Amino acid sequence: MINTIDFKTKTLYIPRKNVGVKKAWGIAIDIGYSSVKVFCENAAACIPSFAKKLEGPLLSIGSVSKTRILYEDLETGESWIVGEMAQEMADEHDSESELYGRKRYFSPMFKVITRCGLAMGMFDNQYGGPSGRSIKIQTGLPPKYMTDKEDLVESMSGKHHFRMKVGEDPWKEFDFQITKQDIAIMPQPMGTLFSVSFDRNGRQVPEAKKLWSSNLIIFDPGFGTCDTFYIKNQTIEDQSTFNELSMKEILNKTRKKIQEQYNEDIPIASMQSNLKTGNIRIKSRKNGRPISKDVPFANLLEESCNEVCNEALDKLCSVYNALFNCDYLIPTGGLSAVWKPDIIQYFSGLETLKIIPGTQNDNLPSIFNNVRGYYMNLIGTLRQMGY
């Protein structure tokens, strides 16, 4: 039986020494539907892609959770709670289009989570900090959404003046400007290709040339989309995005099973709390009196996960001729880590196919594969520009 907490979006801040350049501070950011991932010279970080506007004071007693994130816009005075604690406040009134819609770039929540991600990429720690250097940003979009890049650049550029508080740490104020020329965008799966091509020092690994000149598929099932990227002898042969083969679809199937079995409707945005506990609360009345109990739902989640996994692998075979002409398959992202045994088993009969993990050049969780590759590409570009 699967462990539901493995599917819950995590809050992570990992101080570490990464490669950098002297004259700029590079930040790679992956603003996903589930989480915002960040990679910079002194850290890798991740926060859930969810925020709630605070309409009144936030009450707290005793110690504050290390994952509590508070945000205040110093131009408008608006205050938000961000990440895990915000998810615990989610309800049926939270708009799915704002959370998971393709055109979310100009929503207030998107602005908040983007700024918080950038801020985590600018924290000082034992490995240094920006120290006044200009900010340069690399991000990505699903292949099918690359036509949205002007909207994404527009939403991220401009003046940013806000403050942020994590756990019991003091408030940190940020005041910086980003021009449109400071932002670069690539197809998301390309991030993993760069990640498997470069070591921790930003040096190309010996196998990189062979990979780029072979026939390979990057398979990136994420929260909102499942993206594929097919490279044939250094040429991008195909790039596709499938909305129905994602973690969101797993949760949607699980939600329907819960409705059918228990007559409870749990919004997808609210399910993070259930993933944490492994239970759903069943509520009813008997003889006019309220009754409730908590019941586990890991079995329903596992059924849904297996269904979507099989659908995704079948689609991969259907689109790419059963991978007969493919030399390498590179699964990447958090969901691919969950599906790893199934992927290996599904393609076990292909002796001509080598499966390479997207994590092979680092020890970070697989959710960082794309954003790590964004960063390696950014540093290479900045070096060429003389930074």
Q: For residue 34, what is the domain's CATH number?
A: 3.30.420.40
Give a yes or no: residue 336 inside a domain: no
Give a yes or no: residue 67 inside a domain: yes
Residue 57 is predicted with a pLDDT of 76
DSSP 354: E
Residue 97 in this model has a pLDDT that exceeds 90: no
**Three-class DSSP category at 77:** coil
- pLDDT tier at 61 (50, 70, 90 boundaries)? low
Q: Report the DSSP beta bridge partners of residue 355.
A: 329
Residue 141 in this model has a pLDDT that exceeds 80: yes
Give a yes or no: residue 34 inside a domain: yes
Residue 95 in this model has a pLDDT that exceeds 60: no
Give a yes or no: residue 166 inside a domain: yes
The residue type of 374 is Y
- Using one digit for the tens of pLDDT, what is the confidence trace for 292-342? 899 999 999 999 999 999 999 999 999 999 999 999 999 998 899 999 999
Residue-number span of the structural domain to which 86 is assigned: 4-194+364-384
Q: Report the DSSP beta bridge partners of residue 13.
A: 45
- Using one digit for the tens of pLDDT, what is the confidence trace for 184-237? 999 998 999 999 999 998 999 999 999 999 999 999 999 989 999 999 988 888
- Region of poorest pLDDT, from 87-96, 168-177, 316-325: 87-96
- pLDDT tier at 25 (50, 70, 90 boundaries)? very high
Residue 98 is predicted with a pLDDT of 62
Give a yes or no: residue 352 inside a domain: no
Query: Are 269 and 87 a contacting pair, CB within 8 Å?
Result: yes
- pLDDT tier at 58 (50, 70, 90 boundaries)? confident
- Matching residue, tokens 């059963």: 322
What is the pTM for the complete model shown? 0.93
- pLDDT tier at 96 (50, 70, 90 boundaries)? low
Instruction: Report the phi/psi class of residue 82: left, alpha or beta, with left for phi > 0 and alpha for psi in -120 to 50.
Output: beta
CA atoms within 13 Å, Cβ hemisphere of 136: 22
DSSP 206: T
Give a yes or no: residue 136 inside a domain: yes
State the DSSP string of 269-328. GGHHHHHHHSEEEEEEEETTEEEEEEEE-HHHHHHHHHHHHHHHHHHHHHHTGGGTT-SE
Give a yes or no: residue 322 inside a domain: no
Task: Tell me how far apart the alpha carbons of residues 347 and 324 are, in angstroms, rounded to a whole number.
Answer: 10
Instruction: Specify the number of domains making up the chain.
Output: 1
**Three-class DSSP category at 195:** helix
- pLDDT tier at 2 (50, 70, 90 boundaries)? confident
Mean pLDDT for all residues in the chain = 93
State the DSSP string of 22-76. SSEEEEEEEE-SSEEEEEETTEEEEEES-EEE-SSPPP--SSPPTT-EEEEETTT
- Region of poorest pLDDT, from 179-183, 242-246, 342-346: 242-246
Give a yes or no: residue 262 inside a domain: no
Task: Tell me how far apart the alpha carbons of residues 366 and 202 are, in angstroms, rounded to a whole number.
Answer: 18
Percent over 70 (pLDDT), the chain = 97
Q: How many CB atoms lie within 10 A of CB 317?
A: 14
- Matching residue, tokens 């907490």: 5
State the DSSP H helix or E strand holding residue 154, giving kind and residue range, or none if neither. Answer: helix 149-156
- The CA-based diameter of the chain, rounded to the nearest angstrom, is 76
Phi, psi of 304 (to 5 degrees): -65, -40
Query: Are 205 and 195 a contacting pair, CB within 8 Å?
Result: no
**Three-class DSSP category at 137:** strand
